[in-house]
Amino acid sequence: MILAIDIGGTSSKFGLVDAAAREISAYEKFDTREAVGAHGLESFLKERIGHFLEKHPDIRGIGLGFPGLLSKDRRTILELPNIPGADQLPILDRLSEQFPGVPIKIENDANCATLGEHRMGAYRDVNDFLLVTLGTGVGSGLIIDGQLFTGARGNGLELGHILVGREKTLEEQIGLQGFLSYAEARLSNYSQTTRLRSDRLNGKAIYEAAVQGDPLAASLFDYLGTLLGEGLVAAVRLLDVTCILLGGGLSGAFEFIYPGLKKVLESRLPGYYIEDLRIKKASLGNDAGLLGAAGLLLPAS
C-alpha cells in the first residue's frame, strides 16, 4: 500500500492506494484552509501521516502532490499561492526526519494528475499528451515520449499563468474564482429567465442549469472553453502535441466547454495541428491526483 496525499487549494485528500488494483481505500478529505490554518501545513501533514502509519503499518511509501512551485530536487516547497506560510518550506527533509525509513516523494499536483492518467488511467498507451486541470486554479502537465516533462528548473508548463488578452492570466479568468466572478457579473445584468441564482452560484449549479437547457449557464461554459482554447493555441504550437485531456472539477462540464474550445483551435491553427488533434475528458476524475501521487513511488513502465 502507498499513502497518497493530494493537497489542493480548496480541499486536501488522503488515501491508501493499491497500485496493482488501482483502488483507493481509507479515504479522507479536509478543507485545506481549515486544516492548515490552525497549525500550518507541516504540522497538519505530520499529524495525518502519523495517524495513517499507526493504523496501517504496511504502508511502503508516501507520495504527495502540492499546488505550486517546487525545487528541482523535489525537496522544498518554493511557493504555494493558496496556502499561506508554506513558501520555502523544506518539506521532504522535515517529513523524512519525522518518519525515517519510509520512502517519500513530492511533486506538483497537476504533474501528479498527469502521471496518474499515464500510469493508471485510460491513457496508459498514449505516450504524448497534455493534461489541463480546471479547478481552483488552472494546472497542466505534459507527457512527452512516455516521460513526465518538468522543465529546465522543475516548474515548466504552467499554462494557467500565461496571459490571455492583455492584462490577466488564464487562471485569473477561468480558475474557479475568476469564472464565478464572471458568472456573477453576467447574471446581475441578465434580463431573461434563468435557473441560476446569485446566492447559490457555483460550478455544480451552473453545470446542472446547463444540463437543463439554461442558455446563460451554457454560455458561461462556452466563454470558459473559448478562453481555454486561446491559451491552448499557444500550447499546441509550442509543444506539437496531438492529444489534450481536460481534468479537474470543472471538466465535468466537458460537453459544454468543448464546442467553444474546438471552435477556437480550428480557427487559429493550421491543418497540420488540427488533423491529428484529439481533445478528450480525462479518465480518473477526482482520483487522478491521489493515483498520480502514488505513482511517484512506482517504477516507470
pTM of full prediction above 0.85: yes
pLDDT tens, N- to C-terminus, the chain (301 residues) = 999 999 988 899 999 999 777 889 999 999 999 999 878 999 999 999 999 999 999 999 999 999 999 999 999 999 998 888 899 999 999 999 999 999 999 999 999 999 999 988 898 889 999 999 998 889 999 999 999 999 999 999 999 999 998 789 999 999 999 999 999 999 999 999 999 999 999 999 999 999 999 999 999 999 999 999 999 999 999 999 999 999 988 999 999 999 999 999 999 999 999 999 999 999 998 899 999 999 999 876 5
Distance, in Å, from the CA atom of 232 to the CA atom of 130, rounded to the nearest integer, reads: 10
DSSP state of 218: H
Give the distance, in angstroms, between the CA of residue 172 and the centroid of all CA atoms in the same chain: 15
Question: What pLDDT is stored for residue 301 in this prediction?
Answer: 58
Domains of the chain: 2-115+287-295 (3.30.420.40), 126-282 (3.30.420.40)
Distance, in Å, from the CA atom of 204 to the CA atom of 298, rounded to the nearest integer, reads: 34
Which of 121, 107, 131 lies closest to 7 in space, CA to CA? Answer: 107
Count CB-CB contacts under 10 A for residue 189.
6
* DSSP per-residue string spanning 255-278: HHHHHHHHHHHHHHS-HHHHTT-E
Count CB-CB contacts under 10 A for residue 238.
9
Q: Is 85 exposed, middle or buried (0-12, 13-18, 19+ CB in 10 A)?
A: exposed
* Amino acid found at 137: G
Distance, in Å, from the CA atom of 289 to the CA atom of 296, rounded to the nearest integer, reads: 11
Which of 164, 171, 142, 144 lies closest to 268 in space, CA to CA? Answer: 164
Residue 245, strand partner residues: 131, 280
